[in-house]
Structure 1
Amino acid sequence: MDIQLLTEKPQDFPEIRKLLIEAFADEIHSDHSEQDLVERLRSSLGYVPELALVALVNAEIVGYILLTKIVIQGVGVVHEALALAPVAVRPKFQNLGIGGQLIEEAHRRATELGFKAIVLLGHAQYYPRFGYQQASAFGIRLPFDVPDENAMVKELVPGALHGVAGEVIYPKEFFG
């Protein structure tokens, strides 16, 4: 299967919306509004167009990932990072490695752009294979109550999170 990973374009937006609705329809840990979140984030100051990617198979959009700028507010210091939300693959294309390819490509592009770390809220069994660790191990916490094992971070640059303790501050668009 030939998979292309490309930066999203405005003409992709309606199909991405459909994909997100389809991909999260049966997800029990979802509020089923990921498509609205993506639309809000595109108009936020945290939006980085190069970090909004689609996966195509035979010219069909089958996967999507978005990384958005956030900050980690420490004591008297602010550290820039990224949030991964969401990553999605159409159900009939799941378990084929497409999500993993999107994640790896997003990591590569983020590193090229000079970002040093990524924060996410996600499945504790899935993301560690991509180098994600519990955020609490770095003294980093999310601004809402979630199980510790689901709040994760990844250093894109080794040592990037050394001494970076604090609370993640998301763009207001994350909250509707």
Structure 2
Amino acid sequence: MSRLDTWRTRAERPEDIGPIHAVNAAAFPTELEADLVDALRGDPTAWINGLSIVTLDSGGAIVGYALLTRCTVGGQPALALGPCAVTPEAQRTGAGSAAIRAGLEQARRQGENLVVVLGHAEYYPRFGFEPASRLGVTAPFEAPDQNFLALALNPDNATPRGEIAYAEAFGV
């Protein structure tokens, strides 16, 4: 069942904080990612208004989530994608893809360009991500090339090169 065209997305609102925590807690084995979102929300150097995206089901409940936060690459501004989460019952329906696409489009509209993600090699290329090494981006930890990915939102513009520095909440 594909509901890719029927999902509604929007930026996080204050009343969404609890439901976003619940979606992340339900999607992962522990609350680590849910707590990470809360920590990032409290970091004014990482949090960017409008880049915390929720996916709503037909009843208006939050079932998907994608977050883009500030990081740097080679000392220049960039974005880190993640956590991304979908409630178990809405997985594999396009809810996560809808949130990610909406977040990437909003980042593009806000003038951002480089986005980096550490994630599944089979999932993120559908959004245009490629091995970060191709864009000259390195990680401060060991990461397989097929899992440490980057995307230039506007390929005509130069992107920063060098090592990524994540927000403090990531702990790396």
TM-score (norm 2): 0.90
Distance 1:160 1:88 in 2: 30
Q: Say yes or no: does 1:65 pair with 2:66.
A: yes
Regions of 4+ moved over 6 Å: none
Question: Equivalent residue of 1:48, what SS?
Answer: coil
Q: Does 1:113 align with 2:110?
A: yes
One-letter code of the match for 1:70? Answer: C
1:131 Cα deviation from its structure 2 partner: 0.2
| Long gaps (5+) in structure 1 | 26-30
Query: What's the RMSD between the two structures over aligned residues?
Result: 1.6
Q: Which of 7, 11, 25 is the matching residue for 1:7?
A: 11
Structure with a larger share of its residues in strand: 1
Q: Which runs of 5+ in 2 are unaligned?
A: none
Cα displacement string for residues 17-38 of structure 1 (whole angstroms, at most 9, x for unaligned residues) = 111011112xxxxx75001110
Match of 1:174 in 2: 170
- SS of 2:146's equivalent in the other structure is helix
**Matches for 1:12-161 after TM superposition, within 5 Å:** 12-25=16-29, 32-44=31-43, 45-57=45-57, 58-73=59-74, 78-161=75-158
**Match of 1:85, SS?**
strand
Identity level (%)? 37
- Following superposition, the deviation at residue 110 of structure 1 comes to 0.2
> How many positions carry a matched residue from both structures?
166
TM superposition score normalised by structure 1: 0.88
The aligned residue for residue 28 of structure 1 is none
Asked if structure 2 preserves the Cα contact closer than 8 Å seen for 1:117 and 1:160, the reply is no
**Contact persistence 1:117–1:161 (CA under 8 A):** no
Greater displacement, 131-140 / 4-13: 4-13
> Residue 137 of structure 1: CA displacement?
1.4
